Chain A
């Protein structure tokens, strides 16, 4: 083991001496965007917050390398890697626009697709995901709902059972805690309890995660609570490419799908293909192949990991970064192959330590791949505290790149 390790290290050292680390990967690379300051648009009563100068977004400003290497885990015919960037130029857009594009394309393709949520109609949605849709498709297909999350989720479930394909938007995922009854007791359950007579092809989506001083109630990470519900699928998008792909796949799925977005990722820019594509709902995304350690992450933490990866590469490590994307079920095929290769696992997540995605993932990996592990699985998560409002405190409740670097160093000793 040690010999191989040193060998790989040498290779990494050699590679890192080339002009830019990105050339050494030899994989498809999309044209990265120039520096872009990141702003979060909140509801009218809050102030607009800009994040320039924040260390968390240096990665974004230098141009994020979002490799589209799709590990062929659960094979599906629809899952095609995008045409190489040289033959088709594609088009550039922001993540929220990608979501909208996916939604719009599905609404055009299937007249049964409709959207419901607060302020999504003529206001266009608090994060502008549904901007312009009400004018295009009418008030009935883009429905503005009163403030009753449990009830409009219930309404979506009723509509889904009678043949529509609703997309329910929670203005913030935390608000969907009010819809937990409908999601758990009805959405996840009715296909089963009715003996398969009624399907609920609903998509429940919205922004969650820790933002920029949004306060504890608006910083909920619902994936921990929802992951137990039988009958639902859960995915988390992290790039414009997978946001659009997952949105489309979720709408086309016959099962109820919860699509988790992140408040701070809506303005990510990427060039995506012009042609129609979807992303497999059950598949993880290989962000950066490597040899030393498997880093499993999702949503915003992907970017913290990639930033840490730069530092790690400079220090001579070769981390393999996988964006697990599918939170329920886990893509144990991709994850397993990675574990078998690297023998070390680090999970980096934004949800709380207790009962989080990392906890379940640790259990799943230990059960299935225990023999392949050379070290105990490490899991970096947020602390079990409500998110503080103070900016400095908030920053330290989530995992920072420096912690990730330290963890990898510890793991690879």
Chain B
């Protein structure tokens, strides 16, 4: 009774605060880790009493084909880099479900701000294998005009913003875009992806804060894959993952099994509805594992056990898991499987051949698009470069048109 009487409320600027004479610190970690939403078990079977957004056979099969395509695309391009045919590559092996299922739950009007491990979103939206190859080879057909490293895709047509190498800089961009969409009253949201490492950047913090304060329709999807190059999450942060941080900013959040395509689809679908209809940001933490190396410049066996990698590659493969589910539903079979895989593989090899032989962008493209119109100083520099090339033609690559 005494405790009741002493419970009073104080009127601080932030709001009414209940105070108590008992000194109690909030624990740094919850007694139980925040739970994870999952719908399919490891064998692709629906967990009982699960609630999820249903997908039609057509959508499910499309999702699966895209996941297989992404997996094959990654494998082949990685090999191409190893053979010296492209200079660099980043795989998304192990994160196919996050890539494709999230893309499937969005509409084509939703603006995507990727980090660099989300080519599956572009793939879902219709970026062709040839277009992927063109960017990786930096040839004349590349929309980026050969100016960026491989995997730095971008397509304004498909509302997928050009990848920048900087970490987490895209997160505030997404909030700005969401703010723009809100001002224009569009039926669309902004979506941004980043890894567990990206959440340590200041931009993540401020963007989350802004999104909450400005009530912007933006979905933050964190691919918590356990590793930021060689830094494990235990060295990255001490919070219980990412989803719990949402509440700190006033952002609704959920933790999802990132390797469960069905759960990912449901979560992103619901998130989108809330974002657009209620004008609020949503944070989704997709827990997964980075099966591949950070990039082709990395050998992850140097900092993690090879058997751990193998286990996740085989036993926890999201593609296999989803395949089992669609097969249970009678929507897929082994024949369809082998047909799909061989078809994708040959298409890819063909695309690579064409991309490799295609002409490189001309030297002019070194100077255009710095500004809207080429200023005089750049024209001068271009002239100087061309004169130099003419004087020393042997020192310049023969396949770059002047």
Specify which of A114, A154, A195, A198 is in contact with B169 (CB 8 Å cutoff): A154
Question: Once bound together, how far apart are the Cα atoms of A163 and B185, in whole Å?
Answer: 13
Specify which of B156, B166, B171, B175 is in contact with A194 (CB 8 Å cutoff): B156
Specify which of A185, A230, A233 is in contact with B164 (CB 8 Å cutoff): A185
Question: Once bound together, how far apart are the Cα atoms of A194 and B148, in whole Å?
Answer: 8
Contact B154 A194, beta carbon cutoff 8 Å = yes
Contact B180 A159, beta carbon cutoff 8 Å = yes
Within 8 A of B (CB), among A227-257: 230-231, 233, 253-255
Query: 1/0 per residue A193-212: CB within 8 Å of B?
Result: 11111110000000000000
Contact B210 A190, beta carbon cutoff 8 Å = no
Asked whether B207 is an interface residue with its Cβ less than 8 Å from the other chain, the reply is: yes
Contact A158 B177, beta carbon cutoff 8 Å = yes
Contact A181 B111, beta carbon cutoff 8 Å = no
Asked whether A166 is an interface residue with its Cβ less than 8 Å from the other chain, the reply is: yes
Contact A194 B144, beta carbon cutoff 8 Å = yes
Question: Once bound together, how far apart are the Cα atoms of A191 and B210, in whole Å?
Answer: 25
Closest-by-CB residue of A relative to B135 is A195
Contact A163 B180, beta carbon cutoff 8 Å = yes
Within 8 A of B (CB), among A134-186: 140-141, 143, 145-146, 148, 150-164, 166, 181-182, 185-186
Asked whether B183 is an interface residue with its Cβ less than 8 Å from the other chain, the reply is: yes
Contact A182 B169, beta carbon cutoff 8 Å = yes
Specify which of B147, B161, B179 is in contact with A159 (CB 8 Å cutoff): B179
Closest-by-CB residue of B relative to A196 is B369
| Residues of the B chain whose Cβ atoms lie less than 8 Å from the Cβ of A150 | 172, 202-203, 206
* Size of A's binding interface in residues, CB under 8 A: 47
Closest-by-CB residue of B relative to A199 is B372
> With A186-B166, A191-B369, A194-B144 as given contacts, are A155 and B175 in contact (CB-CB < 8 Å)?
yes
Asked whether A282 is an interface residue with its Cβ less than 8 Å from the other chain, the reply is: yes
Query: 1/0 per residue B104-130: CB within 8 Å of A?
Result: 000000010100000000000000000
| Residues of the B chain whose Cβ atoms lie less than 8 Å from the Cβ of A396 | none
Asked whether B386 is an interface residue with its Cβ less than 8 Å from the other chain, the reply is: no
Task: Kindly name the residue among B177, B205, B213, B368 whose own CB sees the greatest number of chain A CB atoms within 10 A.
Answer: B177
Closest-by-CB residue of A relative to B215 is A140
Contact A162 B206, beta carbon cutoff 8 Å = no
Asked whether B232 is an interface residue with its Cβ less than 8 Å from the other chain, the reply is: no
> With A155-B173, A186-B173 as given contacts, are A140 and B372 in contact (CB-CB < 8 Å)?
no
> With A148-B205, A155-B210, A186-B166 as given contacts, are A193 and B372 in contact (CB-CB < 8 Å)?
no
Asked whether A25 is an interface residue with its Cβ less than 8 Å from the other chain, the reply is: no
Asked whether A192 is an interface residue with its Cβ less than 8 Å from the other chain, the reply is: yes
| Residues of the A chain whose Cβ atoms lie less than 8 Å from the Cβ of B170 | 158
CB distance from B126 to the nearest CB of A (A): 16
Asked whether B375 is an interface residue with its Cβ less than 8 Å from the other chain, the reply is: yes
Contact B164 A155, beta carbon cutoff 8 Å = no
Contact B172 A158, beta carbon cutoff 8 Å = yes
Counting contact residues on chain B (CB < 8 A from A), the size range is 35 or more
> With A186-B164, A186-B166 as given contacts, are A140 and B177 in contact (CB-CB < 8 Å)?
no
Question: Once bound together, how far apart are the Cα atoms of A255 and B370, in whole Å?
Answer: 9
Contact B143 A154, beta carbon cutoff 8 Å = no
Asked whether A316 is an interface residue with its Cβ less than 8 Å from the other chain, the reply is: no
Contact A143 B142, beta carbon cutoff 8 Å = no
Contact A146 B166, beta carbon cutoff 8 Å = no
| Residues of the B chain whose Cβ atoms lie less than 8 Å from the Cβ of A230 | 370
Closest-by-CB residue of B relative to A168 is B176
| Residues of the B chain whose Cβ atoms lie less than 8 Å from the Cβ of A8 | none
| Residues of the A chain whose Cβ atoms lie less than 8 Å from the Cβ of B161 | 161, 194, 198
Asked whether A82 is an interface residue with its Cβ less than 8 Å from the other chain, the reply is: no
Question: Once bound together, how far apart are the Cα atoms of A181 and B170, in whole Å?
Answer: 12
Specify which of A114, A154, A192 is in contact with B183 (CB 8 Å cutoff): A114
CB distance from A16 to the nearest CB of B (A): 38
Contact A329 B375, beta carbon cutoff 8 Å = yes
> With A186-B164, A195-B145, A197-B162 as given contacts, are A162 and B214 in contact (CB-CB < 8 Å)?
no
Contact B203 A154, beta carbon cutoff 8 Å = yes
Contact B180 A164, beta carbon cutoff 8 Å = yes
| Residues of the B chain whose Cβ atoms lie less than 8 Å from the Cβ of A233 | 371
Asked whether A69 is an interface residue with its Cβ less than 8 Å from the other chain, the reply is: no
Question: Once bound together, how far apart are the Cα atoms of A143 and B209, in whole Å?
Answer: 14
Contact A192 B370, beta carbon cutoff 8 Å = yes
CB distance from A226 to the nearest CB of B (A): 15
Task: Kindly name the residue among B156, B172, B214 whose own CB sees the greatest number of chain A CB atoms within 10 A.
Answer: B172
Query: 1/0 per residue B357-399: CB within 8 Å of A?
Result: 0000000000011111001110000000000000000000000
> With A186-B169, A198-B154, A198-B161 as given contacts, are A152 and B210 in contact (CB-CB < 8 Å)?
yes
Contact B181 A162, beta carbon cutoff 8 Å = yes
Contact A154 B209, beta carbon cutoff 8 Å = no
Specify which of A143, A162, A163, A255 is in contact with B372 (CB 8 Å cutoff): A255
| Residues of the A chain whose Cβ atoms lie less than 8 Å from the Cβ of B148 | 193
Question: Once bound together, how far apart are the Cα atoms of A55 and B184, in whole Å?
Answer: 51
Contact B166 A254, beta carbon cutoff 8 Å = no
Contact A148 B210, beta carbon cutoff 8 Å = yes
> With A140-B182, A148-B209, A196-B369 as given contacts, are A159 and B154 in contact (CB-CB < 8 Å)?
no
Specify which of A141, A182, A186, A195 is in contact with B147 (CB 8 Å cutoff): A195
| Residues of the A chain whose Cβ atoms lie less than 8 Å from the Cβ of B377 | 329
Task: Kindly name the residue among A197, A198, A282 whose own CB sees the greatest number of chain B CB atoms within 10 A.
Answer: A197
| Residues of the B chain whose Cβ atoms lie less than 8 Å from the Cβ of A161 | 161, 173, 176-177
Asked whether A93 is an interface residue with its Cβ less than 8 Å from the other chain, the reply is: no
Contact A231 B370, beta carbon cutoff 8 Å = yes
Asked whether B29 is an interface residue with its Cβ less than 8 Å from the other chain, the reply is: no
> With A141-B183, A193-B162, A198-B161 as given contacts, are A158 and B370 in contact (CB-CB < 8 Å)?
no
Asked whether B152 is an interface residue with its Cβ less than 8 Å from the other chain, the reply is: yes
CB distance from B218 to the nearest CB of A (A): 10
Question: Once bound together, how far apart are the Cα atoms of A168 and B155, in whole Å?
Answer: 26
| Residues of the A chain whose Cβ atoms lie less than 8 Å from the Cβ of B152 | 193
CB distance from B263 to the nearest CB of A (A): 28
Asked whether A94 is an interface residue with its Cβ less than 8 Å from the other chain, the reply is: no
Closest-by-CB residue of B relative to A182 is B169
CB distance from A137 to the nearest CB of B (A): 11
Question: Once bound together, how far apart are the Cα atoms of A254 and B372, in whole Å?
Answer: 7
Question: Once bound together, how far apart are the Cα atoms of A162 and B179, in whole Å?
Answer: 10
Asked whether B174 is an interface residue with its Cβ less than 8 Å from the other chain, the reply is: yes
Question: Once bound together, how far apart are the Cα atoms of A114 and B214, in whole Å?
Answer: 14
Within 8 A of B (CB), among A252-287: 253-255, 282
Asked whether A189 is an interface residue with its Cβ less than 8 Å from the other chain, the reply is: yes
Contact A197 B155, beta carbon cutoff 8 Å = yes
CB distance from B131 to the nearest CB of A (A): 12
| Residues of the B chain whose Cβ atoms lie less than 8 Å from the Cβ of A181 | 166, 169
7 smallest beta-carbon distances between A and B, as pairs: A158-B173, A158-B176, A154-B172, A148-B206, A151-B206, A159-B176, A155-B176
Subset of 9 A-B contacts with CB under 8 Å:
A148-B209, A151-B207, A155-B179, A155-B210, A190-B162, A193-B147, A193-B148, A193-B162, A230-B370
Interface residues of B (CB under 8 A from A): 111, 113, 142-145, 147-148, 152, 154-156, 161-162, 164-166, 169-177, 179-184, 190, 202-203, 205-207, 209-210, 213-214, 368-372, 375-377
Interface residues of A (CB under 8 A from B): 114, 140-141, 143, 145-146, 148, 150-164, 166, 181-182, 185-186, 189-199, 230-231, 233, 253-255, 282, 329, 332
Known: A164-B176, A190-B164, A192-B369. 4 other contacts (CB 8 A): A155-B207, A162-B181, A181-B169, A194-B144
